[in-house]
């Protein structure tokens, strides 16, 4: 299971180009969905107004070099999930984030780089499976034990709302991806393999086409918010408390 290309067996059902076109369509769905989300929710107007207000209230000008440094700091913080103070949420988020990157990159590499029955380096399916398992571990940990409504509001861990649309579909997609891959490698019934693949494809499609209503767009939105806040702190227009003053008060 860790050494075989999960998409190689699809050549018996349809041409490899079909999966390539599917991935392109899902990419377009995310781009369009994110654009719709940003404009429909008013995020674009909010950022435009906030940027104008920040420039008007700025006490100093932030140069290009400083802006680049702030962008690097923002990316570095995002790389370690610096927005989370408590380690369980940070570890859970890191497992999902890096697992998703591994899973997605390896999927694209195998579908486009090694179509059909072309021999694939064993590292790619191994990383694909590892990424999927990381998503499941981090996602299930978050879903059942770390969600705010479960921890603080005492809601059932099986309670699902709109805010859980992304994580729920992601977990379902990855779970059926692994089940389908396992059915392929264990010589299970071809019928079962096709059924599991169809369910995997269904949840994967829902994951990407629901980007306008789920938290998918937040992966692009949150770094932009973090960068804007750093710029505001640098130019003196921030309306947030000074972190250094808060740390001083906390120590006293």
Q: How far is CA 190 from CA 14, 177, 200, in A?
A: 14, 15, 15
**149 pLDDT exceeds 90?**
no
Residues with Cβ < 8 Å from 138, sequence gap 6 or more? 91, 92, 93, 94, 95, 96, 99
**251 pLDDT exceeds 60?**
no
SS3 annotation, 21-85: HHHHHHHHHHHHHHHHHHHHCCHHHHHHHHHHHHHHHCCCCCCHHHHHHHHHHHHHHHHCCCCCC
Question: What would the pLDDT profile of 41-71 be if each residue is shown by its tens digit?
Answer: 766 677 777 777 777 788 888 888 888 888 8
Question: What would the pLDDT profile of 78-120 be if each residue is shown by its tens digit?
Answer: 777 766 778 888 899 999 999 999 999 999 999 999 987 778 8
**186 pLDDT exceeds 90?**
no
Contacts 24+ apart (CB under 8 A), 56-60: 56/237, 57/236, 57/237, 58/235, 58/236, 58/237, 59/235, 59/236, 59/237, 60/234, 60/235, 60/236
Lookup: tokens for 88? 């369980």
Q: How far is CA 237 from CA 50, 127, 154, 230, 232, in A?
A: 10, 44, 39, 10, 5
């Amino acid at each position: 299971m860790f050494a075989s290309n999960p998409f190689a067996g699809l050549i018996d059902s349809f041409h490899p180009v079909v999966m390539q076109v599917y991935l392109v369509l899902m990419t377009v769905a995310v781009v369009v969905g994110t654009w719709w989300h940003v404009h429909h929710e008013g995020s674009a107007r909010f950022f435009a107004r906030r940027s104008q207000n920040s420039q008007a209230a700025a006490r100093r000008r932030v140069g290009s070099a400083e802006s680049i440094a702030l962008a690097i700091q923002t990316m570095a913080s995002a790389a370690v999930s610096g927005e989370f103070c408590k380690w369980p949420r940070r570890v859970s988020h890191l497992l999902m984030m890096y697992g998703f990157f591994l899973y997605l990159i390896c999927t694209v590499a195998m579908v486009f780089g090694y179509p059909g029955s072309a021999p694939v380096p064993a590292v790619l399916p191994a990383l694909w499976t590892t990424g999927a398992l990381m998503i499941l571990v981090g996602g299930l940990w978050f879903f059942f034990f770390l969600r705010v409504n479960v921890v603080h509001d005492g809601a059932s861990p099986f309670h699902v709302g709109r805010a859980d649309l992304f994580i729920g579909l992601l977990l379902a997609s990855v779970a059926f991806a692994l089940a389908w891959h396992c059915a392929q490698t264990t010589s299970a019934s071809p019928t079962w393999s096709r059924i599991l693949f169809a369910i995997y494809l269904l949840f994967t499609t829902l994951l990407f086409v629901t980007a306008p209503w789920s938290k998918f767009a937040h992966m692009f939105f949150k770094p932009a918010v973090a960068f804007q806040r750093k710029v505001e702190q640098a130019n003196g227009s921030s309306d947030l408390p000074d972190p250094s003053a808060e740390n001083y008060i906390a120590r006293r």
